[in-house]
């Protein structure tokens, strides 16, 4: 009888073409599946809670897979970390029931978008911060963010709204902007996110902070339901999948 496992994974996405397996491109899913084959002799499909794009990082991605021949979770974690490159780490492996699905069982996610707001970005942060030289008005960014919270049709903040299978209505439980020194962090927590939605929110808020758009423009853009140049897509390097939320009954 097969056993389902849950993985808690962190990764630096700089060297990868994103989560999903692609031909002739290294991906997080591809690396995990190759290492599982080496370790277990099986070829399980590793299903993530959601896809991340090329260059996007994860602090706590969640995934699941099944093994026909069960293995102790601690052995799986140790074996996978021994085979994976050190820019992918398995923090935890748990046995879960067959009704657990990393994608369909989750009830929300938190993403964080990181900005370095100064003339020069430290070289050791260059892969993990979007560099914005112009001073940003945090108060204005938070004013716009408040208008974006709640349940809305976020079609104008999706890079491909016509291909969203479940529609374009989502609920943003919280969207806040914090500053500490030159570090600015956008925190987005919601029940789900459209394709490149967080990077689009970040791109818009950066323009508001730079004085290029007013905070009140957020309401007009939402109501338009049309993607335009007013909502640029911010760079991938600043984005982190921070946390995935599951009901208390789930094993996370």
Catalytic (active-site) positions: 53
Residue 180 burial (10 A CB sphere; 0-12, 13-18, 19+): exposed
The C-alpha angle with vertex 233 and arms to 231 and 234, in degrees rounded to 5, equals 120
Is residue 13 in a domain?
yes
How many whole angstroms separate alpha carbon 244 and alpha carbon 108?
6
Per the structure block, which two tokens stand in for 21? 């397996």
Shared-domain flag, residues 237 and 114: yes
How many whole angstroms separate alpha carbon 213 and alpha carbon 204?
8
Shared-domain flag, residues 54 and 153: no
Domain boundary among 48, 70, 105: 105
The C-alpha angle with vertex 127 and arms to 18 and 185, in degrees rounded to 5, equals 95
Mean pLDDT, the chain, rounded, equals 95
**What is the pTM for the complete model shown?**
0.94
How many whole angstroms separate alpha carbon 192 and alpha carbon 10?
20
Shared-domain flag, residues 238 and 127: yes
Domain boundary among 105, 126, 145: 105
Shared-domain flag, residues 237 and 118: yes
Largest CA distance in the chain: 60
Shared-domain flag, residues 136 and 68: no
Predicted local distance difference test score (pLDDT) of residue 250: 52
The CATH number for 150's domain is: 3.30.70.660
Shared-domain flag, residues 117 and 194: yes
Shared-domain flag, residues 30 and 41: yes
Model confidence at 165: pLDDT above 90: no
Half-sphere exposure of 85 (CA within 13 A, CB side): 14
Shared-domain flag, residues 134 and 229: yes
Among all chains, which residue has been given the structure tokens 């100064």? 118
Tens-place pLDDT, residues 38-76: 999 999 999 999 999 999 999 999 999 999 999 999 999
Shared-domain flag, residues 153 and 96: no
Choice between 166 and 41, residue whose per-residue pLDDT is larger: 41
Alpha helices for 54-169 (secondary structure H): 73-83, 138-148
Task: Compute the average pLDDT of residues 196-220.
Answer: 97
Task: Compute the average pLDDT of residues 178-193.
Answer: 98
φ/ψ (deg, to 5) at 200: -75, -40
Tens-place pLDDT, residues 186-203: 999 999 999 999 999 999
Shared-domain flag, residues 145 and 239: yes
Model confidence at 140: pLDDT above 80: yes
Asked if residue 138 lies in contact with residue 179, where contact means CB atoms within 8 angstroms, the answer is yes
Domain boundary among 105, 122, 150: 105
Shared-domain flag, residues 19 and 129: no
Overall number of domains in the chain: 2
Predicted local distance difference test score (pLDDT) of residue 252: 45
Alpha helices for 103-180 (secondary structure H): 138-148
Task: Compute the average pLDDT of residues 223-239.
Answer: 95
Q: Which residues, 6+ apart, have CB-to-CB distance to 243 below 8 Å?
A: 59, 60, 109, 110
Is residue 130 in a domain?
yes
Among all chains, which residue has been given the structure tokens 């990764």? 11
Is residue 71 in a domain?
yes
**Structural domain range at position 42:** 3-105
């Amino acid at each position: 009888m097969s056993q389902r496992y849950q993985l808690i994974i962190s990764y630096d996405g700089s060297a990868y073409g994103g989560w999903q397996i692609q031909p002739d491109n290294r991906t997080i899913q591809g690396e995990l599946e190759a290492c599982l084959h080496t370790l277990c002799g099986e070829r399980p499909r590793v299903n993530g809670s959601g896809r991340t794009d090329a260059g996007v990082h994860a602090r706590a991605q969640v995934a699941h897979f099944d093994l026909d021949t069960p293995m102790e979770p601690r052995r799986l974690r140790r074996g996978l970390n021994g085979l994976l490159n050190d820019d992918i780490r398995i923090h935890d492996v748990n046995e879960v029931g067959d009704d657990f699905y990393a994608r369909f069982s989750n009830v929300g996610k938190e993403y964080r978008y990181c900005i370095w707001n100064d003339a020069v970005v430290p070289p050791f942060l260059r892969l993990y911060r979007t560099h914005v030289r112009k001073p940003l008005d945090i108060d204005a960014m938070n004013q716009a963010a408040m208008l974006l919270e709640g349940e809305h049709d976020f079609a104008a903040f999706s890079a491909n709204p016509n291909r969203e299978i479940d529609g374009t209505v989502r609920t943003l439980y919280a969207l806040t902007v914090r500053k500490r020194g030159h570090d600015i962090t956008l925190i987005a927590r919601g029940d789900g996110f459209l394709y490149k939605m967080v990077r689009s929110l970040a791109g818009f808020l950066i323009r508001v902070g730079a004085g290029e758009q007013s905070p009140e423009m957020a309401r007009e853009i939402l109501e338009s339901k049309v993607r335009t140049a007013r909502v640029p897509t911010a760079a991938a390097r600043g984005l982190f999948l921070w946390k995935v939320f599951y009901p208390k009954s789930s094993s996370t």
